[in-house]
Structure 1
Amino acid sequence: MSTIAEFRIPATDLALADAFDRIPDLTVQLESSISRTVPSMWIAGDEPPAVSEALAADDSVAGAELLIETPERLLYDVEPTPETRTRFDRLLEADATVLDATGRSGWWQLEMRFPDRNALAATHDRLDEAGTAIEIVRVSQLGGRPTAHPRLTPEQREALVAAFEHGYFEIPRRTSMEELADELGISHQALSERLRRAYETLVDAELQPAGEYAP
């Protein structure tokens, strides 16, 4: 039975460690794509010139091209060096599939699907033998009742936590959307979009039929 695993790996053992050091607020999310040899990554945390400079100076990156620029984040094609590609290949040797990968504060959080628990164990042992520090966060069986949390982005999670802590969901509200946006240092429109997408993710997870898991 397929196994879903969430785990953390230090960026020093995977990719973009230098970039995370140069830009402390850097957030990176792997873009889902089909039949691509160069991974695309959504990156936030600084202006395009600073991000491009950080990627160019990172030892794990062979090349990077800015594809899309939005007010909140940037989409880059990021070409890994051969050594970095080898590190990723170790993750995939057991016919594993990366469902989600997010980098922040010098760590990568990954969600992956393995053919079974033996394949997960083999991958863990292979990474351990290579000297990669791996911290398993959660393991669940595909087809069992979901135990993993919905895949909120770090920005969505931050917005929800701030809204809860500042009483945005209370009746009457203790803060307004404008005040909450100022607290987070983003626009009213950006906050509204983050909360809307977070609501959609949470509702979708809640309405999944029991016994099913939607990666």
Structure 2
Amino acid sequence: MRELVFTLDYEPGCNAVADALADHPDARIRSLSLHATAESLWRVDHATGPPAALAAIERTVLTADYYADCLAAEDCAATQRTEVLEHTDDTLVLYSYWERTPACASVPHIALDHLGDGVLFETRNEGREYTWRIIHSGAGDLRAFFDALEAAVGDCAQLEVRRVTQAQAAASASDASPGIDGLPPEQREALKAAVDHGYYETPRAVDVSELADRLGVPRSTLTYRLRRAEAHVMSRYVGDGSADEPTPAL
């Protein structure tokens, strides 16, 4: 099996989801499941972020044209629906189904056309970057796949190939980095500031509102960043009885 990882970096105004995520850098969307046939595509996505970011993402995906990965530059008359499966303060789970037309294009369908059947997909959206991880048999025409993908995205996105290699499993516990490694920069900054300013001292030298003022961010944003950073660190150090945990594939 072969592994292919690449990103599409969208220009402003070309992708409504990318625009929403660019406005909310604390938010992330990752695929929980993604399947495609020649005629359709369906997927379940998990978004995390502060409440305002998740509300913006929900509005976007429910109103944007062809959220489920259509790359057509103009209306291609496809039929799609998106449903909210769960929405809490820090989690949004979305289901999308899309029936394509001859004018439609998408990464999964281009992959099926050029890489063959049995292709597996994993995605992550952060800011304007849409990262794809594809596992395929190694058959097919990889150059034709990239040519077709570049033609479909046109000037709307920059394509960057990150990795083309034998498929690898997620990193083992012995390979993962402990502590704050792997945290997004804004969460790492929030955690470091909390330590530096005595947020974790007893009694606390600063409360979350004061710390938010020092960092120049809303209180709700800082609370979310600290909660996510704390969960990351705790899961590494005590979550499974060891200092490390497997790092996600994406």
Question: TM above 0.5, one fold?
Answer: yes
Max radius of gyration: which structure?
2
**Structure 2: which amino acid aligns with 1:31?**
L
The answer to whether the aligner puts 1:186 opposite 2:206 as a matched pair is: no
- Offset of residue 78 of structure 1: 2.2
Taking every aligned residue pair, what percent have the same amino acid on both sides? 12
When the two chains are superposed, the root-mean-square deviation of aligned CA atoms in Å is 4.4
1-structure distance, mates of 2:35, 2:151: 30
More helix by share: 1
List alignment gaps of at least 5 residues for structure 1.
207-213
Is contact 1:156–1:198 with CA below 8 Å preserved after alignment? no
Match of 1:30 in 2: 31
Deviations 1:116-154 (A, max 9, x none): 28654342233234455421012332369x8xx99xxxx
Task: Rate the CA distance shift 1:20–1:58 in 2: closer, same or farther, 3 A.
Answer: same
Matched, 1:63 2:81: yes
> In the alignment, is residue 128 of structure 1 matched against residue 150 of structure 2?
yes
Tell me what 1:157 maps to: 184
* Structure 1 residue 164 displacement after superposition: 7.8
1:40-55 matched pairs, under 5 angstroms: 40-45=44-49, 46=52, 49-55=55-61
Q: Secondary structure at the match of 1:60?
A: coil
Aligned residue pairs: how many?
194
Partner of 2:131: 109
* SS class of match (1:28): strand
SS of structure 2 residue aligned to 1:186: helix
TM-score if structure 1 supplies the norm length?
0.64
Tell me, yes or no, if the aligned pair for 1:29 and 1:103 is still in contact at 8 Å.
yes
| Partner AA of 1:82 in structure 2 | R
Query: What is the CA–CA distance in structure 1 between the aligned matches of 2:244 and 2:141, rounded to whole Å?
Result: 32
Change (3 A) 1:81 1:195: farther
Q: Deviations over 1:54-96 (max 9, x none)?
A: 1122112332211112331200112346369731311333143
Q: What is the Cα deviation at residue 198 of structure 1? A: 6.1
Change (3 A) 1:73 1:122: same
- Structure 2 residue runs of 5 or longer lacking an equivalent are 68-79, 201-206, 216-220
